[in-house]
Every structure is written in C-alpha cells, then in structure tokens.
Chains A and B, each alone.
Chain A
Amino acid sequence: MSIQRRDLLAAGAVTALGGLPRARAQGTQTIRIGVITDMSGPYRDTTGPGSVVLTQQAVQDFLGGGRGFQVEVLQADHQNKPDVGANIARQWFDQGVDAVVDLPTSSVALAVNQIAREKNKVHLNSGAATSDLTGAQCSPNTVHWTYDTYMLAKSTGAAIVKTGGDSWFFITADYAFGHALERDTGNFVRAQGGRVLGNARYPFPATTDFSAFLLQAQASRAKVLGLANASTDTVNCIKGAREFGLHRSMKLAALLMGVVDVKSLGLESGQGLLLTESFYWDLNDRTRALTQRVRPKNQDRPPAMVPAGCYGATLHYLKSVADMGVAAAKASGVEAVNRMKAMPCDDDAFGQGTIRADGRKIHPGYLFEVKTPGESRNPWDLYKVVATTPGEEAFRPLAEGGCPLVRS
C-alpha cells in the first residue's frame, strides 16, 4: 500500500487545475484575479466556492458602470497543501495573473506570500488566520483583509477571561494557524492575570477523534477549554466535549468558528457559545443588501465571513487599479498595494475602513453569542451581537507586530 491517495491528488491537481488563463484577444486591457482556495477539504464550506462567488460579485458590482478594462476571475484548489498552493500561484503569476485572492490555511498563505513578493504581484488574503502575515512575515505585496488570530484571541479570549475563565487548556491543530492562535490567545490570558495549564497538539488534518485530548483537558482541571482549530475539527471537539461531560466543569472557547460551523453543529449543541467574526450577513442594511444580491448564486446561503472578505478586498483592489491605471497596476504589485493603502476603503460587507502600512485591513470585530433554538427566527438566524470592538482596538497595534516594513 505504498500509494498514498493524497500524493496522487497532489500530482493530479497541479496538472488539472482547470482554469489556466487562456490567451485573450488583444485590445482592451484585462486584470486577472485568481482565487486560490480550499475546494475539496475541510475548509471548503467556509471558503471555497463561496469565495469564488463573492469575488465575482465584487467584479460585477465594480464593472456595473463600465470601466474601460476587463476583469477575469480564475479559480483553483490548493487542497490545504503549501506546495500545491505555491505551484498554482507561481504558474499563474508567470502566465499573467495580477492578483491572488483568499488563500485560506495559514501554511499555504505564508508560502504564497513569498512568491507574490518575489514576482511583484498582489496577494489579497481573506481566508488565512495567522497574524504573522502582517507581523514577522509581512510583505509590501500583501493585504490581510478579514481577520487574524490576534483579533480572535483578543475578542473571544478577553471576553471569557472577564467572566472568570482564568485557567486554560488548549487543543491545537499542529500547524502554523493553530500555533499562532494558541500563542496569541495565551498571551491575552496571561496579560489579564490568567494561566495556561497545558495543551495538546494534534496532527492536522489526519485526526477525527478528539476524545483523548478532551480527556487530557478534563484532567488538567482548567476552567476553559480553548479550541485553537477550525471547521470540522472544532465541531467534532464541541460534540465530544458535550459527550464526555466537559461542558459541566469547563467553558468552551471556540476561537475560530463561523456561521457554517454553527449550522453544522446545530443550535441545540451550539447555543450560548461565544465567537468572534468581522462579518455577519444580518449585521446591518448594507450587509443584508449584499446578502440579497449574492444569495441566489451562493446555493441559497448567505455569505460567510471569509467570502465576504474576498468581496471587500477585490472591490478595493479594483478601485485602486482604476485610480492608478491598469498598466501601472499590472506593472508593479507593490505600487498597487501602496495605492490600496493610500485610499480609504468602503464596501457593503465591512463598511468604511483603512489599510495599515503593514498590510492589515482595519475594521471592527464583533463578539457574537450563538442563539438558542427558541430565539432563532429563520434557518440562518444564528447570532446576536454581544460586543463590538472598534477597528483601532480590534487588531494588534502597528508597533507590536515586528513587521520590518514598519520599523524603517
């Protein structure tokens, strides 16, 4: 049994990416945007096809009035593998793609981050969580739009410490994202006088059963179980925690959780959980208007946070391209990103905001509580807002990130 299916998949994927850019008739200028995302793995429902739909929506909303240039949107599946993602990005950049969008899975994002810089293209990140993208590994070619581990840690972590959860045990996905989330949350817990009693780092994505780690958490006698993971893993952890009675003695802190995960968990098991997002479809009139436009194309679902980030980032990028001229934007990714940083942002998903020198997009973060089945009025009515953190406080202060672009 020497053939591993994942190797076969990897080999197949690079050749069968589907949308390699085709040669187009010359004349009108074309901006090419490639969505690199998880089409087949655990993050498919929180990113994947939704990210493609929302990127296309941004193009459609932007081009509505006719702008004198064309925009082509491509898509590819990185399968959560840094090597596959890096290959796709390299190939696309060499074939004239100007910007890549989404890049969930921090390990893949960090790999592509290097390539975008090397080729002087644009990296609009929505899906990855690691705060290193605007910290030690920041790049003049990158905008990190939607959220990051620092924001999640600060909002959810601080809220739980405030309610008396001052000793923590972490169950952590053993890769860049889990490590960053555990580190950032641990820092907040300690800063507020709390303690981290231990952690269990499990192999990602090869783990389905978390009961062994749940039992270790229980034995630690910590008051809070911090889940430094995402998607199906988080759902399986919460299910298991209820099964093994952890919720009687411990609070659960799902540090990265979204509407799709809550939907999959069900309100019965999910009610009362605290979580942080920077976008929710039912937040205000503008988010509801966007939802109405997108929903029919998005399998009749409201957009999730990461796809909404693809919308905001793509729209702002296209505005900057229009502002500086297509030729100049194509010539230099750094210049395009500089123009994005110079212009104020405004879109239906995130409202008004700015992009900082380190590439961090600034907008508010929302602490939500999952509704009880009785409170929910329709199938996607899942959250109530508990607290809003203004943009200036939601993210890591510019000076603390250690981004080399800022120091100079």
Chain B
Amino acid sequence: MDEIFGIPAPLLFGQLLLGLINGAFYAMLSLGLAVIFGLLNIVNMAHGAQFMMGAFAAWMLLAWGGIGYWWALLLSPLIVGTIGVILEKLFISKLYKLDHLYGLLLTFGLALIIEGVFRNEFGSSGLPYRIPAELSGAWDFGFMFMPVYRGWVVVAALVLCLTTWLLIEKTRLGAYLRAATENAALVQAFGVNVPRMVTLTYGAGVALAAIGGVLAAPIYSVNPQMGSNLIIVVFAVVVIGGMGSILGSILTGFTLGIVEGLTKVFWPEASATVIFVIMAIVLLARPAGLFGRK
C-alpha cells in the first residue's frame, strides 16, 4: 500500500473527500453570510441559529405533519426565510444607517434568544432524523466507504452555490441588487423598490442557511447548539474569502474544509484552530481577504 507522508494513500483520499463534504457546509453557510453582508452590510450573527431552525423545521414537518425530507427541503427554507423577512422588517431594517457593530450585536442577541427558546422547548440532547430511503446506503470505493447521502450533500451544495453566484453576477435582478449596494438612492430613482429588495435578499440569505440545516439534519443530531458550533468557523471562512465576496466564500469554504480534514489526520487536536491560524495569516498579508476588493 502506498503511503503519503506516512499516511496510507487510501486513508488520505478518504479524508480529502470528507473535507470536501464539510467544505460544502462551510460554503453554503458562508455564501448566505456573504450575500447578506455584501448587499445589506449586516454581519448576520444569527446565521447559525437560522441554520439550526432549518433543521428543526424539517424535524417538525416530519414529526408533527408527516411531511418527508424532499418537501422539507422546499418548505423549511420558505418557513425560516419568512421568519427572516419578519426579523428584517421588525429589527434589522432600523440599523442600516448605523455602524456595523449594532447589526452584529442585534443579530447576536437574536441568536442567543432563538437558541435559548429551542433549548427550553426541546432540550440539548438532540432529536433523531432519519436519512431518506432514496439516499441511504453507501458506495464502496475500495479506498473508502462513501455514504450516498454525503455525496448528495456535496452535489446539492455545489448546485446551490453556483445558482446563487449566477443569479447575482449574471442576471438583471442581480445587477439591480449590486447597483443598490453601490448607490441605493439612484436605483430607487429608477423606480426599483430598494427596501423591499433588501428585505427579500435577507430572507434569501436566511433561506440558504435553512437549506443547509435540512441537509445537515440526517447527518448530525438535530439540537439547538448545532449552529453555534459551526458559525464561528463560517465567519472565519467569510473573513478569509473576503467580506461580501460571493465567489470567494464558495471557494474558501471548500478549500478550508479540505485543509481542516487534513489537519484531522496529521494533528487532530489542532483541527479546531487551524482555520483561525489561516485567518490570522491572511489578515496580516491581505487584510481585505483572498478575494476581497480592496
């Protein structure tokens, strides 16, 4: 058996693949954050809580309504996105003229409240959610045993990321959005309802988090703190990629997933820290992030 740096090659390939799967989650979550930050200038600390709400919505749909995974994939983002729209209307829209820090504190507070409510209601130990029958089972690649569901997560995440990127960079709607970020007053003068557009953008960013939550529900235990463990890493991903850069956050998400995966092989104890070390280095060398514009 061939070895690379003292690690058997099959094990290394397996770990690279796993890194890609984790990277898919980082990419999906950081994408939503990048959309919201890029277009609204809000640092959405509630993103992890919204990811968790997506997973819980899927669980509730199944447990209380008998509605399965595929419908949940559609309905859960709609439900959580609508809640996002309401939050934006009620609270966040009041903060656009203020410093970033206010948005950060507000959404951080919202995240604590949401997680607290779920913890009181459902406890901390998590709820079971089964892998849908169509996606259960595994492929035997020879070098590793690859669960079908994890493969589906990578494909779904890639499709989602590309669609979002195309929507923002290549369509007329995306052009309006980008124009509104540059000069809202001017776009409004052309007859575009900018406040509504901004509200819907926030809703869409939140919906992206919720889709991530539904995808995660069968893999991890559905519990109130599932988002808070992930969110700090995802913020680091966004910072490394460049605040607000859509493409940057996608590429960085996948890359850092792989880097983290490799760290888990060579030095497991450092796997939670490696991303922050990279963040520190990137901030020193390129303060705007790898893909940030100035």
- Are the C-beta atoms of A1 and B229 separated by less than 8 Å? no
- Are the C-beta atoms of B138 and A245 separated by less than 8 Å? yes
A230 to B54, CA, bound (A): 25
Chain A residues 177-213 with CB under 8 Å of chain B are 200-203, 205-209, 211-213
Which A residues touch B269, using CB under 8 A? Answer: 174, 201-203
Question: Number of A residues whose C-beta is below 8 Å from B?
Answer: 47
A232 to B221, CA, bound (A): 7
- Are the C-beta atoms of A1 and B235 separated by less than 8 Å? yes
Q: Does B68 contact A (CB under 8 A)?
A: no
Which A residues touch B175, using CB under 8 A? Answer: none
- Are the C-beta atoms of A260 and B225 separated by less than 8 Å? no
- Are the C-beta atoms of B125 and A209 separated by less than 8 Å? no
Q: Does B273 contact A (CB under 8 A)?
A: yes
A213 to B265, CA, bound (A): 8
In angstroms, how far is the closest chain A Cβ from the Cβ of B222?
9
In angstroms, how far is the closest chain B Cβ from the Cβ of A277?
15
Beyond A5-B232, A263-B125, whether A212 also contacts B221 by CB under 8 A is no
- Are the C-beta atoms of A231 and B138 separated by less than 8 Å? no
Which B residues touch A260, using CB under 8 A? Answer: 123, 125
Beyond A4-B232, A174-B269, A202-B268, whether A41 also contacts B225 by CB under 8 A is yes
Beyond A5-B108, A264-B128, whether A200 also contacts B123 by CB under 8 A is no
A213 to B124, CA, bound (A): 23
A171 to B144, CA, bound (A): 19
A41 to B125, CA, bound (A): 9
- Are the C-beta atoms of B124 and A243 separated by less than 8 Å? no
In angstroms, how far is the closest chain B Cβ from the Cβ of A64?
30
Contact with B along A268-293 (1 / 0, CB 8 A): 11000000000000000000000000
In angstroms, how far is the closest chain B Cβ from the Cβ of A336?
33
In angstroms, how far is the closest chain B Cβ from the Cβ of A81?
15
Q: Does B223 contact A (CB under 8 A)?
A: yes
Which B residues touch A245, using CB under 8 A? Answer: 138, 145
Q: Does A373 contact B (CB under 8 A)?
A: no
Chain B residues 243-294 with CB under 8 Å of chain A are 261, 264-265, 268-273
- Are the C-beta atoms of B128 and A269 separated by less than 8 Å? yes
- Are the C-beta atoms of B265 and A264 separated by less than 8 Å? no
- Are the C-beta atoms of A5 and B228 separated by less than 8 Å? yes
Which A residues touch B232, using CB under 8 A? Answer: 4-5
- Are the C-beta atoms of A209 and B235 separated by less than 8 Å? no
Chain B residues 206-236 with CB under 8 Å of chain A are 219-221, 223, 225-226, 228-232, 235-236
Chain B residues 133-152 with CB under 8 Å of chain A are 138, 144-145, 147, 149-150
Q: Does A295 contact B (CB under 8 A)?
A: no
A218 to B138, CA, bound (A): 15
Which A residues touch B162, using CB under 8 A? Answer: none
Q: Which of A43-51, A138-146, A150-158, A317-325 contacts B (4 or more CB under 8 A)?
A: A43-51
The winner among B229, B230, B236, B271 for most chain A CB atoms within 10 A is: B271
Q: Which of B11-19, B88-96, B179-187, B193-201 contacts A (4 or more CB under 8 A)?
A: B11-19
In angstroms, how far is the closest chain A Cβ from the Cβ of B278?
14
Q: Does A219 contact B (CB under 8 A)?
A: yes
Which B residues touch A20, using CB under 8 A? Answer: none
A260 to B45, CA, bound (A): 30
- Are the C-beta atoms of B128 and A265 separated by less than 8 Å? yes
CB nearest neighbor in B for A47: B124
Which A residues touch B130, using CB under 8 A? Answer: 268
Choose from B104, B112, B147 the contact partner of A243 (Cβ within 8 Å). Answer: B147
A174 to B270, CA, bound (A): 10
Chain B residues 1-45 with CB under 8 Å of chain A are 8, 10-11, 14-15, 18-19, 21-22, 43, 45
Chain B residues 93-125 with CB under 8 Å of chain A are 104, 108, 111-112, 116, 119, 123-125
A202 to B147, CA, bound (A): 22
- Are the C-beta atoms of B124 and A45 separated by less than 8 Å? yes
Instruction: List 16 additional contacts besides A41-B225, A202-B269, A205-B229; criterion CB under 8 Å.
Output: A1-B235, A45-B124, A174-B268, A200-B264, A202-B271, A203-B272, A209-B22, A212-B15, A212-B18, A212-B264, A212-B265, A231-B124, A232-B125, A243-B219, A261-B125, A264-B125
Seen from chain B, the residues whose Cβ lies within 8 Å of a Cβ on chain A are 8, 10-11, 14-15, 18-19, 21-22, 43, 45, 104, 108, 111-112, 116, 119, 123-128, 130-131, 138, 144-145, 147, 149-150, 219-221, 223, 225-226, 228-232, 235-236, 239, 261, 264-265, 268-273
**A-B pairs, 10 with minimum CB distance:** A203-B272, A44-B124, A212-B264, A45-B125, A206-B272, A266-B128, A245-B145, A264-B125, A45-B123, A243-B147
Would you mind naming 19 contact pairs between A and B with Cβ atoms under 8 Å apart? A1-B239, A5-B108, A5-B231, A5-B232, A42-B124, A44-B124, A45-B124, A202-B268, A202-B271, A203-B268, A203-B269, A206-B229, A209-B22, A209-B220, A213-B264, A216-B11, A235-B125, A244-B144, A269-B128
Seen from chain A, the residues whose Cβ lies within 8 Å of a Cβ on chain B are 1, 3-5, 8, 40-46, 48, 174, 200-203, 205-209, 211-213, 215-216, 218-219, 231-232, 235-236, 239-240, 243-245, 260-261, 263-266, 268-269
